[in-house]
Structure 1
Amino acid sequence: MRIIAGHYKGTHLYTPTGKETRPTSDRARQTLFDILLHAPWAGKSFIEDAIILDAFAGTGALGLEALSRGAQKAIFFEKNTQTRQVLEKNIQLCRANSQSILYKDVLTSPPSNYLCNLIFFDPPYHQKLIPIAFEHLRRNQYISKDALIITETAIDEPLLMDQSVTLLNERKIGAAYLKFWKYSNMIE
């Protein structure tokens, strides 16, 4: 697995051993960022101004890819101790320490000092974690008004989001189902 574009392009990321972590494939990340780059509701300047929240970070590939493409800051959450150590190595490998904040668990995170406008939810499949994490992060003021939210689930995994988000785009890539959402904090 490697960073596809930007400042860290070509950097090979460490991956944890075992099957607990399922990194987003290079192909899925490329598609995700191509959509963001060319969408009328995102674009290059949006990515470059973004404050990233990588909720189930794993190796950090999504957040680090965004930083590589010019995002301002990334907040990573990773609960698994071994995987978090790999993520720390990847942050150091990309020299992204000053742009990165790492927390242990998205479901027990402290209130935020940052309003994030590009949110990645890529949890373990079939555990229904996205709505729970979304609500916790919203309550703790991590998600900015009009944030873009990208979810990755298994193709056969239903995802029920509340009325505060609007589906903008979706793609099936291999076993992954990417959905792009726009958040409006009008519903609290």
Structure 2
Amino acid sequence: MRIIAGEFRGRTLLAPKGDGTRPTTDRVRESVMSTVFSARGGFEDAMVLDAFAGSGALGLEALSRGAARAVFYERAPEAAKVLQKNVEKMGLEPRRATVTRADVLERAPQFSRPPFDLIFLDPPYAYAAADVLGMVAGLVERGVAAPDALVVYEHALTSNDEAAAAAAECGFELASRKKYGDTTVDVLCASACAD
């Protein structure tokens, strides 16, 4: 895996060993970044939460393209070590990139100033969409995420209906849905985005 564009373009990323993580392919990542660029008008000054970070590829790609800061959450110890190494390889200081070794569903961020306005969700496919999107809705309610935050949610193709129902229940609008093999990537925003 490599960073595709921006400040760190071409730099290689380490990937956690084993099947505990499922790194987003370069092709899917490029498509996601293009969608985010169009929806936000770029990455400048983005405050990023990479909530199920794995290698950190999504958050690091956003930083490479101009995001101001990224907070990475990863619960698996080995994956968190690889993620920390990737952050260090990019030469990122803690004020731009912070790695938290925790389950984001159990210990969601309590504070972000400015609030997160770009949130990447690539959880294990076994996680219920209602739990994952409910966590994000809680961030918005508490002001930890912006009311117009853009949410990129990668999930199994077979869970499309569940993801759509959970998004509606949590008050998110589906801005786009793209399928890549057995994976779906939804781009969601809080209802404030649609106003």
Work out whether the TM-score is over 0.5.
yes
What's the Cα RMSD here? 1.8
Deviation larger for 160-169 or 149-158: 160-169
Aligned pair partner of 2:81 in 67, 80, 85: 85
Equivalent residue, structure 1, for 2:90: 94
Shift of 1:135: 3.9
Structure 1 spans left out of the alignment, 5+ residues: none
> Which 4+ residue blocks in structure 1 deviate beyond 6 angstroms?
none
SS in structure 1 opposite 2:158? coil
Equivalent residue, structure 2, for 1:178: 185
Equivalent residue, structure 1, for 2:5: 5
TM-score by length of 2: 0.86
TM-score by length of 1: 0.89
Equivalent residue, structure 1, for 2:146: 144
Task: Indicate conservation of the 8 Å contact 1:164/1:185, yes or no.
Answer: no
1:9 and 1:123 map into 2 onto residues whose CA distance is 25
Equivalent residue, structure 2, for 1:21: 21
Shift of 1:87: 0.3
Task: Indicate conservation of the 8 Å contact 1:167/1:181, yes or no.
Answer: yes
SS in structure 2 opposite 1:97? coil
1:1-188 pair list within 5 angstroms? 1-37=1-37, 39=38, 41-44=39-42, 47-98=43-94, 99-105=96-102, 106-107=104-105, 108-114=107-113, 115-128=115-128, 129-157=131-159, 158-159=162-163, 160-161=166-167, 162-184=169-191
What do the CA deviations read for 1:92-139 (whole angstroms, capped 9, x no partner)? 011123311222221213511331000011101132142343244345
State the aligned residue count.
182
% identical aligned pairs: 36
What do the CA deviations read for 1:18-43 (whole angstroms, capped 9, x no partner)? 10011111111000111222x3x322
Task: Indicate conservation of the 8 Å contact 1:116/1:142, yes or no.
Answer: yes
